[in-house]
């Protein structure tokens, strides 16, 4: 670091957040992830941390950014149905164009302010993201800060960032490393925004394609650990220069092994409850080990029959109806009639890793994940994300056993930065 890059003695407080997509907290061990295990020993570790439902990245990203459940920020799934020209249509939230589609059809992208919006006049937010475009843009859909993603990077006002300032990385471990190197240079040691977030795609990407506990899986855990180690070390160097940084290292959800894939559309059609493939009377939005079922107004008379049918399916673990969507933290309206957490158990897979789940057949011809990792529902291990907080008054080596949630992260960051916290569902973890 050159002399002119040194932080002043009275440097303002900052938050650096590292999210390792899909990292189950029971995968953090001295053998598998030595850097993360070492951080755990000197950070505050949250041992009853949970995520939202559905436990999918685009929803969790929205809850991370707003401090709210889906019922209040308005995004119900990785895949959702929206009404256009009076008909329900299925939409993949991960696509880069979804932000503007959602804005056009509903008038807003997220119904609550994000951290980027709340910090726009207080040091700003810079986000590096290597998961889906939709998940990345949910952190700042209205362009209050900077978001860097391979599908397009944007500054304030959603002004495109182009040329050598754009982020051109691959959605894999090599891309994670390249993104981490830039994040360290430009955020940790560079522009020094009030909030810097890097969201890495591993181990999630590999877990979707390999059995949990396999040699391939163990290797990607070690690689993800090495990327976290780079950023942890960079934060230590910045602190040595006098910076007051709260370091957050965590994940959005865990994973379970897919024991069987269920074609919910086909089952509803066979039962006479949906007109046919691609029909818009009843629309199933698959979300990994969860699913959302939308019913058009013309098919309202089938609601009771659909409920009775789903309640009897062995692959349904928990069924939420319109009357209980709020209990699940999901938004009402827009034709959403049911939410399904597919059945899950704590049984081990062939590698001895606990956690088996049924999964909904993906839309758009995407590959089934039989025998590999998946998430979205309420199974023990998909609801087992990681959270560690280091610095900022959090006690070194402490284990918090009280229930915490991803919705607590935004208010915790705001409290540390001295900003107003109103309008969130979570609470600052400093209160614990």
Domain membership of residue 167 (yes or no) is yes
Domain membership of residue 400 (yes or no) is yes
Whole-prediction pTM? 0.96
Task: Give the model confidence (pLDDT) of 262-299 as tens digits.
Answer: 999 999 999 999 999 999 999 999 999 999 999 999 99
Token digits for 215? 């040699």
Domain membership of residue 88 (yes or no) is no
Instruction: Tell me the mean pLDDT in the region 355-363.
Output: 96
Domain identity same for 178 and 303: no
Above 80 in pLDDT, residue 35?
A: yes
Domain identity same for 159 and 286: no
**Is the CA virtual torsion 127, 156, 409, 396 positive or negative?**
positive
- Looking at the structure of the chain, the number of domains it has is 2
Domain membership of residue 103 (yes or no) is no
Domain identity same for 342 and 422: no
Instruction: Tell me the mean pLDDT in the region 68-86.
Output: 97
Domain identity same for 17 and 38: yes
Domain membership of residue 95 (yes or no) is no
Domain identity same for 335 and 396: no
Domain identity same for 314 and 417: no
Task: Give the model confidence (pLDDT) of 371-385 as tens digits.
Answer: 999 999 999 999 999
Whether 211 contacts 352, CB under 8 Å? no
Domain identity same for 148 and 294: no
Nearest-angstrom CA–CA distance, 183 and 193: 11
Burial of 332 (0-12, 13-18, 19+ CB in 10 A): exposed
Above 90 in pLDDT, residue 190?
A: yes
- Report DSSP state, residue 7: P
Domain identity same for 30 and 162: yes
* Paired strand residues for 405: 50
Domain identity same for 233 and 118: yes
Domain membership of residue 80 (yes or no) is no
The CATH number of whichever domain residue 205 belongs to comes to: 3.40.720.10
Domain that holds residue 44: 3-75+110-254+384-431
Nearest-angstrom CA–CA distance, 160 and 215: 40
Domain identity same for 207 and 327: no
Domain membership of residue 102 (yes or no) is no
Structure confidence at residue 76 (pLDDT): 98
Domain identity same for 131 and 198: yes
Structure confidence at residue 58 (pLDDT): 98
Structure confidence at residue 343 (pLDDT): 98
Domain membership of residue 99 (yes or no) is no
Domain boundary among 355, 374, 393: 374
Whether 222 contacts 33, CB under 8 Å? yes
């Amino acid at each position: 670091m050159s002399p002119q890059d040194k932080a002043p003695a009275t440097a303002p407080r900052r938050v650096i957040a590292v999210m390792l997509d899909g990292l189950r907290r029971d995968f953090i061990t001295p053998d598998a992830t030595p850097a993360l295990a070492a951080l755990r020993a000197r950070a505050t570790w949250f041992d009853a941390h949970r995520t939202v439902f559905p436990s999918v990245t685009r929803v969790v990203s929205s809850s991370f950014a707003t401090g709210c459940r889906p019922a209040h920020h308005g995004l119900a799934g990785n895949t959702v149905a929206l009404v256009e020209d009076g008909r329900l249509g299925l939409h993949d939230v991960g696509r880069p164009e979804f932000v503007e589609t959602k804005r056009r059809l509903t008038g807003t992208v997220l119904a609550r302010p994000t951290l980027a919006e709340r910090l726009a006049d207080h040091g700003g937010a810079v986000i590096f993201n290597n998961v889906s475009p939709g998940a990345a843009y949910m952190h700042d859909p209205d362009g209050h800060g900077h978001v860097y993603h391979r599908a397009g990077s944007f500054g304030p006002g959603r002004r495109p960032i182009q040329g050598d300032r754009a982020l051109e990385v691959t959605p894999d471990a090599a891309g994670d490393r390249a993104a981490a190197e830039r994040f360290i240079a430009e955020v940790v040691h560079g522009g020094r925004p009030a909030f810097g977030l890097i969201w890495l795609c591993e181990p999630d990407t590999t877990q979707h394609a390999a059995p949990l506990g396999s040699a391939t899986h163990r290797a990607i855990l070690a690689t993800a650990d090495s990327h976290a180690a780079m950023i942890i070390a960079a934060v230590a160097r910045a602190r040595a220069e006098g910076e007051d940084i709260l370091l957050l290292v965590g994940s959005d959800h865990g994973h379970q092994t897919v024991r069987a894939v269920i074609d919910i559309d086909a089952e509803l059609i066979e039962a006479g409850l949906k007109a046919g493939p691609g029909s818009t009377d009843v629309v199933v939005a698959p979300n990994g080990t969860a699913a959302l079922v939308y019913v058009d107004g013309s098919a309202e008379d089938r609601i009771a029959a659909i409920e009775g049918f789903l309640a009897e399916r062995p692959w349904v673990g928990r069924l939420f109806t319109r009357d209980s969507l709020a209990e699940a933290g999901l938004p009402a309206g827009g034709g959403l009639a049911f939410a399904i957490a597919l059945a899950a158990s704590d049984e081990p897979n062939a590698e001895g890793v606990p956690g088996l789940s049924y999964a909904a057949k993906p839309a758009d011809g995407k590959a089934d994940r039989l025998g590999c990792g998946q998430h979205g529902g309420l199974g023990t291990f998909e609801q087992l994300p990681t959270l560690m907080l280091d610095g900022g008054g959090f006690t070194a080596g402490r284990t918090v056993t009280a229930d915490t949630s991803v919705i607590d992260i935004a208010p915790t960051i705001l409290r540390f930065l001295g900003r107003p916290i109103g309008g969130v569902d979570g609470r600052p973890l400093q209160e614990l």
